[in-house]
Amino acid sequence: MKKLVVLTGAGISAESGIKTFRDADGLWEGHNVMEVASPEGWRQNPKLVLDFYNQRRKQLHEVKPNFGHQTLAQLENHFDVHIITQNVDNLHERAGSTKVLHLHGELFKVRSTNPEASGENYILDWKTDLNWGDCDPNGNQLRPHIVWFGEAVPALDEAIEITEQADYLVIIGTSMQVYPAAGLLHYTNKNVPVFYIDPKPATIYDLSNPLEVIPMNATEGVPFLKEKLLKRE
C-alpha cells in the first residue's frame, strides 16, 4: 500500500461544530488565545485556563465526526494512511482512523506540571473536568495535555519522519500559519503530489512538489480527493 500522509487543521473540526480562533481575530470562545493557551496565561490565572479546557472537553462530548473524518478513515482500505493533526479533539479516532499523531496534544488527556518529578510519560486519560487541586502522586498540579504557544512540540520529529515517507501528501483545513506544523510539507520528497483542501486556501510558497488546490471544505473535498486518488491506483 502506498503511504498517504494527511495534515489536518482546525477547518475539518469546524465542520463538526468545534470553533476555531483563527477565524475570530485571535479570540477563542471569547478569550484572547494567549490567556488560555500559553505558559504565561497558565501562570497568571490557572483556574481560568482549567475552566476554559473543561468547557472544550464538554463540547467534545457533544460533537461527532463529519463526513470528512469518515472518508479519511475509509481510505485506510486502499492506502497506508497516517494522519498528523494540529487538532486536540479525538474526531479522527472516533471516525475510525487508526494512525493519528496529535502535534498539539489531546483534550482528553492531562499531564503533570512537573514532568521531572513525575516522568515525561506521566499522561492520564481524562474525560471530565480537571480542577485546581487535582494532582499527580507527588502532589504536583495536573494541567491539560496541550502544547501551548511558546512550548516545544514533542511529536515533531515523529511527524517529520512520517512526512518524509509519504507517497501522497494531503493538507486539509489549515491556514498554514502555525509553525512548526506548517513547515512539514517541505519534508516530502520533491516528486510527491501535494493536495490542499480548504475553502479559503492560503498561498503556499517555495514548494517544488506538484500541487493541486481543491477549494472545498473537508466534507466535500475529501470524498472528491478519494475518487481522484483511487483512479490513480
**Which ranges of 37-192 does DSSP label H, i.e. alpha helix?**
39-44, 46-62, 67-74, 91-95, 115-118, 156-164
Catalytic hit among 61, 104, 145, 186: 104
Collect all residues with Cβ–Cβ distance below 8 Å to 219 and sequence separation of at least 6: 15, 66, 67, 68
Alpha-carbon distances of 220 from 64, 70, 137, rounded to whole Å: 17, 12, 47
Q: Is 104 a catalytic residue?
A: yes
9 vs 84: CA distance, rounded Å = 9
What does DSSP assign to residue 201? P
User: What is the three-class DSSP state of 3?
Assistant: strand
59 vs 51: CA distance, rounded Å = 12
Q: Report residue 123 as a C-alpha cell.
A: 499522561
36 vs 54: CA distance, rounded Å = 12
Residue 126, φ and ψ in degrees, nearest 5: -155, 110
186 vs 151: CA distance, rounded Å = 22
- List the catalytic residues: 104
